Structure 1
Amino acid sequence: MNRTKIKRRVGKYEVGRTIGEGTFAKVKFARNSETGDSVAIKILDKDKVLKHKMAEQIKREIATMKLIRHPHVVQLYEVMGSKTKIFIVLEFVTGGELFDKIVNHGRMHEEEARKYFQQLIHTVDYCHSRGVYHRDLKPENLLLDASGDLKVSDFGLSALSQQVRDDGLLHTTCGTPNYVAPEVLNDRGYDGATADLWSCGVILFVLLAGYLPFDDSNLMNLYNKISAAEFTCPPWISFGAMKLITRILDPNPTTRIIVAEILEDEWFKKDYKPPVFDEIEDANLDDVEAVFKDSEEYHVTERREEKPTSMNAFELISMSQGLNLGNLFDEQGFKRETRFTSKCPANEIISKIEEAAKPLGFDVSKKNYKMRLQNLKAGRKGNLNVATEVFQVAPSLHMVEVRKAKGDTLEFHKFYKNLSTCLDKVVWKTEQDMEEKK
């Protein structure tokens, strides 16, 4: 069955699959049609931005981000606007998340954890010196490039999920509570720099321990533990690392260690080689102003082209890095997305997913060959939302992507295991799979 897919272009970029979703934004994979380079495009709804009076702040943050070229920060290339949307074009990072290493291989040796922590602190310090604060440092924002070096994403753009009130201080509206500083949680306003450092301390603990310093299924208990900095270092963490973590996870922001003191810490300094890079002297900021202008002449053209859904070999390989497509039961850890192939017709695949999801307590909405499954019962991080899409690889072969859109990754993993059992007959088995089952 040949389904028709609308192919979307924004200016010179051909826009593809969704690779992330947030409160205010959706992130899509795209390709620069002039150079062939891969990029990520963050798409914001203009109305929401204006409604929350965030235009000036976003303009300022984007302008500053264009001036930052740090080897460990995901680069912002350009920004474009249409009548209804803002498009932020970012570097596409291919090495996955730093925390996938912990999920797959357990806690890190001190030397490896120290290397990543040094890269993180240098990045945070550099951005702070230019007035840019992250405010939402957490696992999803720590990526790795092809060389295995750290790339921090959403630096300076986290304001998209935050709000500044009349007192001029930041007040969090969301975020991952486990990584958030106590002064952010008490909602009396906070300093972006000291709050970022607290999150860095939590990240260092997780790298070395393999689990969170503050964790509780009851939110009030979690807040109390964070406010009192109530945590215990496991015995395998060295005294030097433990001392540094304790100085960072100080619940009082006025006595918490600052970057200058971290740089002098004996444990931190070991084998420290700050990156050498050229700073950008000036950047063209005309596009930042143009984004918020109503005049048509400043708007980027959005075109939609009808094209049958097919996927060439290159796209298939790029989407399935290190994945055995014939194997639905991938146990490589808690992924946020997974894929399988099927020889069933696309309509049948959709029906089978719907049949399997409803008894698991999911509400199902469908549009073309995309589905959104929402768990009616709230989990640890709200309602689990799962997005699925069917792609045609060959006339009689489809690939199905199953992706966590919202909610807890561990809950997604449990849901996926249940779903995979129900879909056993739908998944294409290779001869090797059949042999292994015997």
Structure 2
Amino acid sequence: MGRINNSVVPSDDEILSKRGYKLDRVLGEGSYSKVKSALWKKPGSNETLQVAIKIINRTTAPQDFIERFWPRERDLMEVLQHDNVIQMFDIFSEANKIYMSLERATHGDLLDYVQLKGRLGEQETHKYFSEMCNGIKYLHGLQIVHRDLKCENMLLTAQNSIKIADFGFARKMSKSEISKTFCGSAAYAAPEVLRGVPYEGTSSDIWSLGVILFIMACALMPFRDTSLSKILKDQKNTPNFPEKHKLNKRYCHLVTNILRYDLKKRFSLQDILHHDWLTTIYNKPRPDPSVSSTDSGIESDRSLS
């Protein structure tokens, strides 16, 4: 326990143990929040689940986060139920902190996976991207835009299935609405977001999916991210696919049409779902053409380090 203004403040372990949680190691940490792994014995059940506990410190979090972004994330997480979206189990506040219990994807995130393995084979890329699209179709069907899609927010379960996570920047937006909040990671952000002009949330999410699709098969960023001006310059051109990988032409066609600078020419989610590369069915395992991670880098400013 600690003391604030002569009052005894219970520790996270003490607060969570009363609700059946046993905290373990830290999975991630920011300036005003952290995520810890935990075991949770569900009330009225003998079942024990592996969960991730997100702990937000109200006293150090920005006011804008507490008043705008956090309420949105909370409200959205309470209704989300999909195989490819992280589920929330529990949420409560105590001692100036917010505690959120989330489904834990035990195999980490997609960025770590690609950095460890190198570029993914076509069949694996196809599987993960299909699952991402299923999750985004569900979200967009609820008029929810994520606005921070990136490899770090694509988590892998013990069964190696994709779970879309981190709804800190997500919000509900109707088709006629535009967003003026410029959030997310520059390397994954659509040109309109980087240019600082009001943008359509669903189309921005689609762009970010295209960046992730490129990364999975190439183990490189599609655009140089050393400066904003270089990213914007690169985004106006067709992505530069590494010739040595001999990528499927249908795959390259799909990526190229997702990463269209011109919004009018950029693929919609429906275009993606009906594209012949995505509708391909893999009936049996194929030889994995992936190369080792040591052969995955071409330009230092496009690497995944």
Q: TM-score range by the shorter chain?
A: 0.7 to 0.9
SS at match of 1:8: helix
- Equivalent position of 2:289 in the other structure: none
For 1:75, the aligned partner's letter is Q
Q: Distance in 2 between matches of 1:50 and 1:210?
A: 35
Give the alignment partner of residue 266 of structure 2, picking from 251, 256, 260: 256
Stretches of structure 2 lacking an aligned partner (at least 5 in a row): 1-10, 172-176, 284-291, 295-300
Spell out, residue by residue over 1:117-141, the C-alpha distance to the aligned partner (whole angstroms, 9 max, x if none): 1111111111111122221111211
CA offset at residue 84 of structure 1?
1.2
**Is the contact made by 2:91 and 2:100 (CA closer than 8 Å) also made in structure 1?**
yes
- Equivalent position of 1:214 in the other structure: 223
Query: How do residues 66-105 of structure 1 correspond to structure 2 at under 5 angstroms?
Result: 66-105=78-117
* Distance of aligned partners of 1:195 and 1:229 in 2 relative to their CA distance in 1, 3 Å threshold: farther
**Is the contact made by 1:20 and 1:28 (CA closer than 8 Å) also made in structure 2?**
yes
**Is the contact made by 2:211 and 2:221 (CA closer than 8 Å) also made in structure 1?**
yes
CA offset at residue 230 of structure 1?
5.0
**Is the contact made by 2:53 and 2:100 (CA closer than 8 Å) also made in structure 1?**
yes
Q: Distance in 2 between matches of 1:333 and 1:44?
A: 36
Give the alignment partner of residue 25 of structure 1, picking from 23, 27, 33: 33
For 1:169, the aligned partner's letter is S
- Equivalent position of 1:124 in the other structure: 136
- Equivalent position of 1:243 in the other structure: 253
SS at match of 2:34: strand
SS at match of 2:56: strand
Query: How do residues 419-434 of structure 1 correspond to structure 2 at under 5 angstroms?
Result: none
Give the alignment partner of residue 179 of structure 1, picking from 177, 182, 188: 188
CA offset at residue 258 of structure 1?
0.6
* Distance of aligned partners of 1:180 and 1:92 in 2 relative to their CA distance in 1, 3 Å threshold: same
TM-score if structure 1 supplies the norm length?
0.55
Q: Distance in 2 between matches of 1:150 and 1:225?
A: 29
* Distance of aligned partners of 1:23 and 1:137 in 2 relative to their CA distance in 1, 3 Å threshold: farther
* Distance of aligned partners of 1:122 and 1:82 in 2 relative to their CA distance in 1, 3 Å threshold: same
Q: CA RMSD in A?
A: 3.0
Q: Distance in 1 between matches of 2:126 and 2:117?
A: 17
Larger Rg: 1
1:266 aligns with 2:276: yes
- Equivalent position of 1:344 in the other structure: none
Spell out, residue by residue over 1:2-23, the C-alpha distance to the aligned partner (whole angstroms, 9 max, x if none): xxxx772324123332211245
**Is the contact made by 1:8 and 1:16 (CA closer than 8 Å) also made in structure 2?**
no
- Equivalent position of 1:323 in the other structure: none
How many residue pairs match? The answer is 266
The percentage of counterpart residues that share the same residue type is 30
**Is the contact made by 1:77 and 1:91 (CA closer than 8 Å) also made in structure 2?**
yes
**Is the contact made by 2:28 and 2:34 (CA closer than 8 Å) also made in structure 1?**
yes
Spell out, residue by residue over 1:214-257, the C-alpha distance to the aligned partner (whole angstroms, 9 max, x if none): 0243443233323x245312331121111111110011234311
CA offset at residue 36 of structure 1?
3.5
- Equivalent position of 1:140 in the other structure: 152
**Is the contact made by 2:91 and 2:98 (CA closer than 8 Å) also made in structure 1?**
yes
Structure 1 runs (4+) deviating above 4 angstroms are: 47-50
- Equivalent position of 1:194 in the other structure: 203
- Equivalent position of 1:8 in the other structure: 13
For 1:250, the aligned partner's letter is R
Q: Distance in 1 between matches of 2:12 and 2:269?
A: 47
Q: Distance in 2 between matches of 1:53 and 1:136?
A: 15
Q: Distance in 1 between matches of 2:22 and 2:217?
A: 41
Higher deviation after alignment, 77-86 or 97-106: 97-106
TM-score if structure 2 supplies the norm length?
0.77
For 1:206, the aligned partner's letter is I
SS at match of 1:208: helix
**Is the contact made by 2:110 and 2:155 (CA closer than 8 Å) also made in structure 1?**
yes
For 2:196, the aligned partner's letter is D
Higher strand share: 1
**Is the contact made by 2:93 and 2:99 (CA closer than 8 Å) also made in structure 1?**
yes
* Distance of aligned partners of 1:168 and 1:125 in 2 relative to their CA distance in 1, 3 Å threshold: closer
For 2:27, the aligned partner's letter is I
Give the alignment partner of residue 158 of structure 1, picking from 143, 148, 169: 169
* Distance of aligned partners of 1:108 and 1:50 in 2 relative to their CA distance in 1, 3 Å threshold: closer
SS at match of 1:247: helix
